Chains A and B, each alone.
Chain A
Amino acid sequence: MLPAVDVRKAHKRYGSLHAVDGVDLRIEQGEFFGLLGPNGAGKTTLINLLAGLARPDSGQFSILGHDVVKQYRTSRRLLGVVPQELVFDPNFNVRETLRLQSGYFGLRHNEAWIDEVMHHLDLTDKAETNMRRLSGGMKRRVLVAQALVHKPPVIVLDEPTAGVDVELRQTMWRFIQQLNRDGHTIVLTTHYLEEAEALCGRIAMLKQGRIMALDSTQNLLGSMAGVRVRLKLAGALPAALLPQIAEQTGEDYLLELPSYQSLEPVLAELRMDGVEIKEMALEQTDLEDVFMRVVGRAC
């Protein structure tokens, strides 16, 4: 089966800055794929290269087997992109915007699908409202709708939920997940890691233009095997436990243990030294821990 997205040896420099530095990435059809990384990691640049919005210094990019430069007409029909920037054309209302976008893709009688997309994104009431008069979150939803007018099999969303309220975020994800179940490939960037953890089957973590980790979400979470224990003590931590400390503020400790089996010796040590435990909590590893380890800073 052709990969939905195929990126080979991608390089893109802006002056001396290596924004995309040798990325190889293959995303299969039907995946829900997460592209994570701190600000400036090169996520948007990579998406721009895929969409033909930027020209690579070198590398090959294809959508469902169609080269994005040589076969740009086909590859662009197969791709829908929600840009990160909140851009809009103030000359038109929502419906006009979506009709024009359909037209750009050569679709003339697209009214039924436009209505459906507007319905799913809760835009029906705003159909005749000028883009300028929409709130930020509504503009974001129109961006999503614009990316979907031509029913692209591959959908790339560059931070689609930034500035969207909780309720709508849920509705939006239901819609996107529905599209994914219907066979659309989804590529998502987001800084909400819970969102990525809940939605994405596979995740790539980018830093300074390079892929630092690429695996299924489960494996990434599993790679952080071990248990984290948060302790509030009535005294100092016994010396034998010092190597276990991951974080410390006063008498609040965060210990990292290789497994649940190592928990009992810790408790025994504390008992022996007569240090009273005032509070204790076990923490689940989440994507944020993985991210911190791989990328070395907060998302």
Chain B
Amino acid sequence: MLSFYALFYKELLRIWNGGIQAVLAPVLSTLLYLLIFSHMLEQQTEIYPGVRYTAFLIPGLVMMTVLQIAYSNSSTSLSASKITGNLVFALLAPIAYWEFFLAYVLAAVVRGLVVGTGVYLAALWFAQPPMQFPCWIILFALLGGALLGSLGVVAGIWAENFDQLGGYANFIVTPLTFLSGAFYSIHSLPSFWQQVSRLNPFFYIIDGFRYGFFGVSDISPWLSLAVVSGSLLMLAGFALALLKSGYKLRL
């Protein structure tokens, strides 16, 4: 367990040494989203009764940040170590595959939550969404961060160079986050696209997270919880199996 702790600490120290821009950059881009979308759409749209569009938008943006940051943290850290070769230091050490997995995923969750909190605090300047059920908020933030942290681990193992890694982000992660209902309720979509959205696990993360704020959601938070936990278990199992086999890491 000490080895796990050291690897986890290494990931945090890496982020810390990277400096404050790691938090500021995502906060800035979220503020830009808010500035543009809320101005354009504030008058036209009221998605949930009595909730201003800007307020509606904030949980979605916060969760989108958590997901993207968690994913990029574990995927870039792992693939950079693998591609530049310094992963050898961890591979030489008596670290079990599950300790390895936990360290990367927990670091991704921590970073996702820290930046997500930063974005949330900055967004409060625009609008103040209520917080009906903080437990759901925290639960979905943790699960979402862990799910994308695990996905990042898989991507980091898989990618053989940075172009491939960029490809995964552009063709898989970004479309899934944007089509997750972060900016809208899926009830405002044509029914075909509603059905498609239901195949996207990210939709359940955002919907469940938003339920924690407004107490209203497109589908039951319990269903979201089941889908998200199930996805996490499957993905974590897959990542653990890859790590255990040494796939692309121990040649």
A contacts, CB < 8 Å to B: 48, 51-55, 72-74, 76-77, 79, 81, 83, 85, 87-89, 91-92, 96, 100-106, 108, 146
Contact = CB atoms under 8 A, between A and B. Distances in A.
Given A87-B89, A92-B17, 7 more contacts: A55-B250, A72-B94, A89-B14, A100-B13, A104-B3, A104-B89, A146-B89
B250 A88 contact: no
SS of B interface (majority): helix
A52 B90 CA distance: 11
Contacts of B114: none
B10 interface: yes
Contacts of A77: 94
A76 B94 contact: yes
Interface in B61-95: 81, 84-86, 88-95
Contacts of A55: 246, 250-251
Interface in B84-108: 84-86, 88-96
22 contacts: A51-B92, A55-B246, A55-B251, A79-B92, A85-B88, A87-B84, A87-B89, A88-B86, A89-B81, A91-B18, A96-B13, A100-B6, A100-B9, A100-B10, A101-B89, A102-B6, A103-B6, A103-B9, A104-B6, A104-B89, A104-B90, A104-B94
Nearest to B249: A53
A145 B179 CA distance: 49
B33 interface: no
Contact of B250 (A52, A81, A91, A104): A52
Interface in B228-251: 246, 250-251
Contacts of A72: 94
Interface string B1-29: 01101110110011001100000000000
Interface string B100-122: 00000000000000000000000
Q: Which 8 A-B pairs have the closest CB atoms?
A: A103-B6, A104-B93, A87-B85, A106-B2, A73-B94, A76-B94, A89-B86, A91-B14
Contacts of B6: 100, 102-104, 106
A53 B89 contact: no
* Listed residue (A83, A89, A102) with the most chain B CB atoms within 10 angstroms of its CB: A89
**Size band of the interface chain B makes with A:** 20 to 34
A53 B92 contact: yes
B2 A108 contact: yes
B250 A106 contact: no
Contacts of B18: 91
A87 B83 CA distance: 10
Nearest to B17: A91
A186 to B, nearest CB: 17
A85 B84 CA distance: 10
B250 A53 contact: yes
B88 to A, nearest CB: 5
* Listed residue (B10, B90, B95) with the most chain A CB atoms within 10 angstroms of its CB: B10
Contacts of A106: 2-3, 6, 94
Nearest to A81: B92
A77 B84 CA distance: 24
B116 to A, nearest CB: 23
A146 B92 CA distance: 11
B2 A53 contact: no
A36 B138 CA distance: 58
Contacts of B250: 52-55
A155 B102 CA distance: 29
Contact of B5 (A89, A103, A105): A103
Contacts of B91: 52-53
Contacts of B251: 48, 53-55
Contacts of A52: 91-92, 250
Contacts of B89: 87, 89, 100-101, 104, 146
A131 to B, nearest CB: 9
A87 to B, nearest CB: 4
Nearest to B7: A104
A44 B163 CA distance: 28
Nearest to A45: B251
B85 A85 contact: yes
Given A76-B94, A87-B86, A92 B13 contact: yes
Contacts of B88: 53, 83, 85, 87
A91 B80 CA distance: 11
Contacts of A146: 89
Nearest to B6: A103
